[in-house]
């Protein structure tokens, strides 16, 4: 019995198909449970905050500009006042100019000089209260001025000259206790000692002078402190201790017969 030709061809194709090498795809060797990659995040375009609108930005910008303009105007005004006050004190020095500077040009360098000059003039005219008031104004308005310590010492001296002993002692004590030590510390000690001498408190004055001399500050007031200390009356000698009176020893009395 003969096999049909078509059957031979099919069998031959099947044999060749089974005998050929097959290249399997890479996905054939991968496990089936691999995670599916996540979707790429979508980057949203940036959006301005809700408050950043023309209704809010414009007023803020206007306020900032107004502040800058005001600061520039203040600087210009201060510079103009400084130039005018310097010109005034250089061209027309005198009591009238000093009074105008004190009244119309506060916080200017020329005004500081006008206050000091006015205080010196008041002291020269034997008006210590006015001088002390001007020194106090200088200290209040120019606390960082290089001459503030000198002005405070001068104020205490003028208060003492005016008879305001309590207030003068307060200022002297403040100078003596300032830290760092005041340049007029020794001078304040002499002023305080003079007030104590006027009150007949010689031992208190002696103690103040001895303390300032013991510090050996090298101040120009030290010779004056030595002279004032030497002018004090000698300290009172310690009182002699009272002698104890002993009771007479009992005498033996023979018994009466």
For 212-223, the pLDDT digits (tens) are 999 877 889 999
Q: Is the pLDDT of residue 153 over 50?
A: yes
pTM attached to this predicted model:
0.63
Would you say 218 and 199 are in contact if contact means Cβ atoms under 8 Å apart?
no
Q: What residues contact 138, with CB distance under 8 A and at least 6 apart?
A: 112, 115, 116, 119, 145, 147, 148, 151
DSSP state of 223: H
pLDDT grade for 90, boundaries at 50, 70 and 90: confident
Query: What's CA 227's distance to the chain center, in Å?
Result: 39
Q: Which two tokens stand for residue 56?
A: 């809010």
Q: Would you list the domain boundaries of the chain?
A: 73-163, 164-232
Q: Is the pLDDT of residue 129 over 90?
A: yes
Q: Report how many helices (DSSP H) and strands (DSSP E) the chain contains, helices first.
A: 10, 0
As a whole number of angstroms, the distance between CA 194 and CA 100 comes to 37
Q: Which helix (H) or strand (E) holds 209?
A: helix 202-215
Q: What residues contact 203, with CB distance under 8 A and at least 6 apart?
A: 235
Q: Please give the pLDDT value at position 197.
A: 96
**Selection from 130, 128, 126, 129 nearest residue 115 by Cα:** 130
**Which conformational region is residue 94 in: left (phi greater than 0), alpha (psi within -120 to 50 degrees), or beta?**
left
Greater pLDDT, 209 or 84: 209
Query: 17-71, pLDDT tens digit by residue?
Result: 555 555 545 454 455 555 555 566 666 666 666 666 666 766 666 666 666 655 5
Would you say 95 and 118 are in contact if contact means Cβ atoms under 8 Å apart?
yes
Instruction: Give domain 73-163's CATH number out of 1.10.3470, 1.25.40, 1.10.10, 2.60.40.
Output: 1.25.40
* Average confidence (pLDDT) over 64-88: 63
As a whole number of angstroms, the distance between CA 209 and CA 203 comes to 10
Average pLDDT, the chain: 78
Q: Please give the pLDDT value at position 240.
A: 45
Highest mean pLDDT among 32-41, 76-85, 225-234: 225-234
Phi, psi of 243 (to 5 degrees): -75, 140
């Amino acid at each position: 019995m003969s096999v049909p030709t078509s059957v031979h061809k099919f069998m031959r194709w099947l044999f060749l198909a089974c005998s050929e090498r097959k290249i399997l795809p890479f996905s054939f060797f991968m496990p089936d449970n691999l995670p599916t990659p996540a979707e790429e995040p979508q980057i949203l375009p940036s959006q301005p905050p809700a408050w950043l609108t023309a209704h809010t930005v414009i007023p803020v910008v206007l306020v900032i500009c107004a502040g800058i303009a005001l600061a520039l105007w203040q600087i210009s005004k201060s510079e103009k006042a400084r130039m005018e006050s310097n010109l005034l004190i250089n061209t027309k020095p005198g009591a009238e100019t000093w009074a105008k500077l004190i009244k119309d040009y506060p916080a200017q360098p020329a005004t500081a000089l006008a206050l000091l000059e006015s205080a010196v003039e008041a002291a020269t005219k034997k008006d210590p209260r006015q001088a002390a008031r001007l020194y106090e104004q200088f200290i209040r308005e120019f606390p960082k001025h290089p001459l503030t310590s000198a002005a405070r010492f001068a104020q205490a001296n003028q208060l003492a000259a005016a008879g305001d002993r309590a207030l003068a002692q307060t200022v002297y004590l403040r100078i003596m206790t300032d830290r760092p030590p005041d340049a007029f510390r020794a001078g304040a000690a002499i002023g305080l000692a003079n007030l104590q001498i006027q009150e007949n408190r010689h031992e208190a004055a002696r103690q103040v002078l001895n303390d300032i001399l013991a510090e050996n500050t090298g101040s120009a007031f030290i010779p004056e402190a030595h002279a004032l200390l030497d002018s004090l009356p000698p300290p009172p000698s310690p009182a002699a201790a009272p002698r104890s009176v002993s009771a007479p020893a009992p005498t033996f009395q023979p018994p009466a017969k």
